[in-house]
Structure 1
């Protein structure tokens, strides 16, 4: 398993066009990013398609990663999450993928994948429970259900900038909680 520093180094090599580093980055991080997309999109086939698009974006934007900012894995997850949210919003607008055919083979997650996702989910839920209930609900709405900041501000009857502040501070608390777990 690669360390955050190793992943950061791989991203730097990908920015220089190193295909071997890109392959290793994909092998090391694709399961995590797939889990993020699957949780957001709730559709295995769409999550698989989205994962490929996410790695195209990573290849194209690797030079934008700054090791002095967020962790490398957080940067990768943010790209996946944002892409998943974009797909959810496109769904809300009535756009559907025309290749909605039933699956013939069993593509359910393995027991090991389920166990890993379950333990991570439990830790996230524990950390979310430490937030005020309206803040936790806003985080879930923005990052798990794909609501825009404006939609959440309207639901909570607060100004848009207040909602942005809530989410920024809540994410900082979640990051701290998860880092200490």
Structure 2
């Protein structure tokens, strides 16, 4: 069994135990994932104290919602990263921060940080207003539509692979992705005009 598969299997086990309110499993889950998740939020927020606050809120959310984790829909790290991402964007909205995101490099840099065995979160990402606008619009989509688009574009899955992952009919997934992209386009054009 490959290391990644072993890690994913272990994370799934810990999440299942956390769903049963096992504090030892929660500590193990935290120890195994917090550095990468902290690096992810720090790359976006660029302030250590804000990233620490987001990480704490995220792990409270993970503790409270572990029972809702569905292994068939996402890998454990993907599920937890989504929680951290949402909490990070909530923080940005609360701060109404002017954050610049380089849309071309943002996903690549974040994914490299998550996949790297030695993330270097202190290396600042220059963030552009285009990606901030995209993140704002993306957060306005319905949860399942966001998930379908994320699987298709962030995980480079075909529509049929997304349908398999989400256990939905292919036509539904295609419709959600098409409508979601249209809503993103409309939202971005409104923000440009503002």
Q: What TM-score, normalized to structure 1? A: 0.58
Which of 43, 46, 50 matches 2:47?
43
Change in Cα spacing, 1:78 to 1:166, as seen in structure 2 (3 Å) is: closer
Partner Cα separation in structure 2 for residue 64 and residue 168 of structure 1: 18
Which of 28, 34, 46 matches 1:24?
28
Partner Cα separation in structure 2 for residue 150 and residue 23 of structure 1: 30
Q: Are 2:128 and 1:148 aligned?
A: no
Q: CA deviation at 1:150?
A: 8.4
Structure 2's unaligned 5+ residue stretches are: 99-115, 124-128, 158-194
Q: Give the corresponding residue for 1:116.
A: 118
Q: Is the 8 A contact 2:138 2:146 kept in 1?
A: no
Q: Which runs of 4+ in 1 moved over 6 A?
A: 164-167
Q: What TM-score, normalized to structure 2? A: 0.55
Partner Cα separation in structure 2 for residue 19 and residue 170 of structure 1: 31
The number of residues matched between the two structures is: 128
Change in Cα spacing, 1:19 to 1:175, as seen in structure 2 (3 Å) is: same
Correspondences of 1:1-181 after superposition (within 5 Å): 3-92=7-96, 116-117=118-119, 140-141=131-132, 146-149=135-138, 168-169=148-149, 171-176=151-156
Q: CA deviation at 1:36?
A: 1.3
Structure 1's unaligned 5+ residue stretches are: 95-113, 122-136, 152-159
Q: CA RMSD in A?
A: 3.6
